[in-house]
Amino acid sequence: MSVGLAGLSTAVALARRGHSVLVLESTSELLHVGAGVALTSATRRWYESEGVLQPNEEACVALDGIELRNWATGDLITKTAANPVGKQNAIHHGDLQLALLSRAQTLPNIEIQMDARVVDIDIEATSITTSSGEQHTADLIVAADGIRSTIKPYVCPPEAAKAVPTNDAAYRFTLPRQLLELQSTSDDSSGADQDALLGLIQRPWASRWDGPGKHVVVYPIRNHQLLNIVLIHPDREDQAEESWTSMADKSHVTEDFRGWDPRLQKLIELAPQKVPNFRLFVHEVCPAWHKGHTVLLGDACHAMLPYLGQGVAQAVEDATALTTVLSLIESPSQIPLALQAFETSRKERVAEIQAATYQAQTKLHLKDAEAQRIRDDDRKAAGQQKQNSDVVQMQQQYWVWDAAEVAARVLRGLLV
């Protein structure tokens, strides 16, 4: 495991159920990186039940819904209807990671080793070797080491690791509330325009603009002290490699979103001169998730694109399912059976969500003006009926899922 969200979530869940956990992280220190991530209501409740987040957690903002706006004018199309299941939540990736690390450090049966890069694994012996030459043997190896997993090639065929470009990339940055307030007091625009800009961070609502080949999502995080901004756009790069560290000049952001809502233009003006630009690739669900006593988890076996905001939720469901099956077996000899139950219980669900994610990308990025008008009219009509449509409806249909019950049911069938 690593100190990513999937690894730490699984480590905390296993440790709280009596397992001894060693977490190996390849980096030498944990950096507070990334931007906002979405948590479904069930995901937030899970983190609260595991003692990672508190019910009144200020770092995590409960959103009342999403305001859908015209990409060019900013006019409101509709507001999403309330979901009886609960609210979408927003938190900075770094804040959630630190909360997980803090929780892990309170559990005496979790040991975390930094600067411990895994360089080799012996599937038969269930042992790994780190770059320092140190060897570790365990009953189970959990590879929660992300899309560039070093353990993945030992478990499934090399061709399963091939990533396919979506031809999209994501500019991501955050703006502090103080900067937005300063901009509003010094701006020559009208009071209504200033209030509209500040409202993006003051109110517990996300805003989304869906335009030709692009879309933008904005929402408050960290107790409304940071505004998270994600701008999905056509990928400019010709290189074939996936990158989560590339930076783009702000002039590219300005050019890509020229002619969009003036509020978005203001936000881009306030962005740093260099903006993180994450290239988005498709990673198909791995054909095999486990081998012997080694199992893949999270992005290592089913990385999610951001169009439905399901990345953290599926990592938590993985942690829940794996913890459940390991708690139901009676001896280490049954671990392969438990891992088979874990994989079977999860694979169909994540494949379905991945497929829906690709559909969402198409719906968000309609290029034809008439198709956009029909889509937006349908959204407005649904809103008038207190209903949700297309992408929001797709998002919410995946919020309810009992990963523990499904995993337990599959395992019981295998044990018969």
d(CA 115, CA 29): 8
Residue 80 domain-assigned (yes or no) = no
Q: What is the pLDDT of residue 390?
A: 87
Q: What is the pLDDT of residues 41-82, one digit of tens each?
A: 999 999 999 999 999 898 999 999 999 999 999 999 999 987
Using CA atoms, how far apart are residues 278 and 235, in angstroms rounded to an integer?
Answer: 9
- Identify the CA nearest to 265 among candidates 226, 316, 218: 218
pLDDT of residue 304: 94
Q: Domain check: are 13 and 107 in the same one?
A: yes
Which residues touch 404 (CB under 8 Å, ≥6 apart)? 320, 321, 323, 324
User: Per the domain annotation, does 181 fall within a domain?
Assistant: yes
Do both 202 and 172 map to the same domain?
Answer: yes
Is 282 in contact with 245 (CB distance < 8 Å)? no
Residue partners of 195: CB distance under 8 A and separation at least 6 = 184
pTM of the predicted model as reported, rounded to 2 decimal places: 0.94
The number of folded domains in the chain is 2
Same domain, 275 and 327: no
403 and 320 Cβ atoms separated by less than 8 Å: yes
pLDDT category at 33 given cuts 50, 70, 90 is: confident
| Structure confidence at residue 275 as a pLDDT band (50, 70, 90) | very high
- In the chain, pLDDT over 90 holds for what percent of residues? 80
Q: Kindly state whether residues 47 and 127 are assigned to the same domain.
A: yes
DSSP codes joined into one string, 171-204: EEEEEEHHHHHHHHHH--S-HHHHHHHHHHHHSS
Q: What is the pLDDT of residue 30?
A: 76
Dist CA 293 CA 337 (whole Å)? 10
pLDDT digits (tens, 9 = 90+) for 348-388: 999 999 999 999 999 999 999 999 999 999 999 999 998 88
What is the H or E stretch that residue 361 is in? Answer: helix 335-364
**What pLDDT is attached to residue 188?**
61
In the predicted structure, residue 189 carries a pLDDT above the cut 70: no
Which residue range(s) make up the domain with 138?
5-63+85-163+283-415
Do 145 and 93 share a structural domain? yes
Q: What is the pLDDT of residue 93?
A: 95
Contact residues for 71 (Cβ-Cβ < 8 A; gap 6+): 209, 210, 211, 212, 214, 215, 216, 260, 261
Whether residue 71 is contained in a domain is answered as no
Domain check: are 117 and 237 in the same one?
A: no
pLDDT for 1 equals 64
CATH number for the domain that contains residue 257? 3.30.9.30
146 is a domain residue? yes
The domain that holds 43 is classified in CATH as 3.50.50.60
In a shared domain, residues 186 and 275: yes
Q: Is residue 77 part of a domain?
A: no
Cα separation values, 249 from 130, 229, 252, 253, Å: 37, 16, 6, 7
The answer to whether residues 262 and 320 belong to one domain is no
To the query of whether residue 103 is one of the catalytic residues in this protein, the response is: no
Euclidean distance between CA atoms 408 and 324, whole angstroms: 7
Catalytic residue among 44, 103, 172, 375: 172
Could you tell me if 400 and 255 lie in one domain? no
Mean pLDDT of the chain, nearest integer: 92
- Cα–Cα distance between 164 and 228 in angstroms, integer? 27
How many Å apart are CA 183 and CA 195, to the nearest integer? 11
- pLDDT score, position 158: 76
The answer to whether 64 and 87 are in contact (CB under 8 A) is: yes
**73 found inside a domain:** no
Q: With contact defined as beta carbons under 8 Å apart, do 61 and 90 qualify?
A: yes
Q: What is the pLDDT of residue 187?
A: 62
pLDDT at 190 over 60: no
Query: Pick from 226, 257, 282: which residue ends a domain?
Result: 282
């077996």: which residue's tokens?
Answer: 329
Q: Determine, yes or no, domain membership for 78.
A: no
Rounded CA-CA distance 179/177 in Å is 5
Q: Binning pLDDT at 50, 70 and 90, where does residue 332 land? A: very high
On whether both 39 and 133 belong to a single domain, the answer is yes
Q: What pLDDT, on a 0 to 100 scale, did the predictor assign at position 240?
A: 52
Are residues 375 and 261 part of one domain? no
Residue 393, domain member (yes or no): yes
Which of 232, 258, 282 corresponds to the end of one domain?
282
Encode pLDDT of 228-260 as tens digits: 999 999 997 765 566 666 899 999 999 999 999
In the predicted structure, residue 32 carries a pLDDT above the cut 80: no
Alpha helices in 75-129 (DSSP H): 93-105
Which of 282, 313, 333 terminates a domain? The answer is 282
**Do residues 141 and 181 both lie within one domain?**
no
- Max CA pair span of the chain: 73
